[in-house]
Structure 1
Amino acid sequence: MRVLAFAAAAGLLSGCATSTVTLLNDEAGGPTGAVAVYDQDTGAEQGQLTAANTMARVGGKTVTVRPARGDRYADLMSRMPYPPRAYVLYFYEGTVQITEESKPVLEALRRAVTAETDVQIIGHTDTVGETEFNDKLSYDRAVEVRAALVKDGLPVENSRVVGRGERELRVPTADNVSESGNRRVEVILR
């Protein structure tokens, strides 16, 4: 058998009758992670564990999952990447100008970004206007946000910019509807 660990899972399924697998979770109380066990010959899933303090029979063995506690995994946890952080900025209709309400979000974003931060910037629009116009506008909004972050020290190569136009509406609307909730840029920091 082969153990495939997703997220921060550690463990060993050996010839013992019972094996213990520790699933690490972030200190913010985020998801625990998961372990899936596959048969190496057939590739068929033998079982999976997706929550702390659970037990399952996997490949004829009992596997117990327990959360990581204490300092035993402190070194490993200190090397784990931070979970992605998301920021949303809103824009005035038909422009690349952020709303007054979004200025504090931009300031918080500027404080959060470092030279090592990986940044994904995704521009969006509402459904007012032609598709081509909205594609360009959404991209231009994302570029404006990146320019503000680069000005504050983010290396341009640490960012990816895309414009999604009106294809991923946060608030579903019909065509040619002005909806402020859709005029946005989503910034994801890793």
Structure 2
Amino acid sequence: MVAMIKPGHLLLLVGLLSGCVSDRVVLLPSPDGAETALVVRDASGERVLDRPYAATNTQALAAPFDFRANPEYVETRYAAVLQALPRGAVSHVLYFETGGDRLTQASLAELSALRQQIANWQASEIMVIGHTDRVGSLAANDALSAKRAEAVRELLIGEGIPAEKLEVAGRGEREPLVPTADEVDEPRNRRVEINVR
């Protein structure tokens, strides 16, 4: 059987995941509400699932056997499978004072809550990406963005986040949150993004 799905969409392969003889495929709703579709195909035929909770039995692809699964039933019956699905990424932004790697007071205050959220998320990968505004040279901003990312990494380690889960990168002034002309001091661009997956 072949199941084709667009990236970012969820599907439930009940029989395939649980080792059952009869395979049932259920298309779960997209987290952002976007329309989704899935083609389930084997040697006997194919089915297109194109609405939330659309389902099919893979042993009956050649016969018209499609149905809409009851959302409450799916959530109850397959709770263990649904809990095992990877969560989507969550992003946080911390801001810095001008010209250095010191967090603003507001961002410092967020660290404890951020640590708790990361711990509850049980993340396997945390990407810490430093950014700058456009004041200064490209080379200086590259170095400063890396320094900011590393400073946040160290703060997260100090909050109990395992170092092996943390990756850092500096983007300099290349990816501004607020586009500006060169040499413009923009506080919202002096930031570190923390992407938790």
Relative to the length of structure 2, the TM-score reads 0.72
Residues 106 and 51 of structure 1, relative CA distance in 2, 3 Å threshold:
farther
State how 1:48-127 maps to structure 2 within 5 Å.
49=49, 51-52=51-52, 63-66=66-69, 68-70=71-73, 71-114=76-119, 117=123, 118-127=125-134
1:163 paired residue number: 170
- Deviating more after overlay: 77-86 vs 123-132: 77-86
In structure 1, distance between residues paired with 2:48 and 2:131: 38
How many residues are matched? 176
Choose from 10, 13, 38 the match for 1:10. 13
- Name whichever structure is richer in helix by fraction: 2
Residues 161 and 47 of structure 1, relative CA distance in 2, 3 Å threshold:
farther
Question: Partner amino acid for 2:38?
Answer: A
Q: CA deviation at 1:144?
A: 0.6
Residues 67 and 161 of structure 1, relative CA distance in 2, 3 Å threshold:
farther
Question: Partner amino acid for 1:95?
Answer: G
In structure 2, distance between residues paired with 1:67 and 1:178: 53
Q: CA deviation at 1:112?
A: 2.2
Unaligned 5+ segments in structure 2 are 16-23, 56-60
Q: CA deviation at 1:47?
A: 8.2
Question: Partner amino acid for 1:100?
Answer: Q
Q: CA deviation at 1:134?
A: 0.6
In structure 2, distance between residues paired with 1:189 and 1:38: 31
In structure 2, distance between residues paired with 1:155 and 1:123: 19
Residues 100 and 40 of structure 1, relative CA distance in 2, 3 Å threshold:
same
CA RMSD of aligned residues (A): 3.4
Choose from 145, 155, 179 the match for 2:152. 145
Residues 124 and 65 of structure 1, relative CA distance in 2, 3 Å threshold:
farther
In structure 2, distance between residues paired with 1:185 and 1:67: 42
Any idea what the Cα deviations from partners look like across 1:135-172, whole Å, max 9, x if unmatched? 11111111011101112222211111000111111101
- Deviating more after overlay: 178-187 vs 152-161: 152-161
- Name whichever structure is richer in strand by fraction: 1
Percent pairwise identity: 34
Choose from 6, 24, 27 the match for 1:23. 27
Residues 123 and 99 of structure 1, relative CA distance in 2, 3 Å threshold:
same
Relative to the length of structure 1, the TM-score reads 0.75
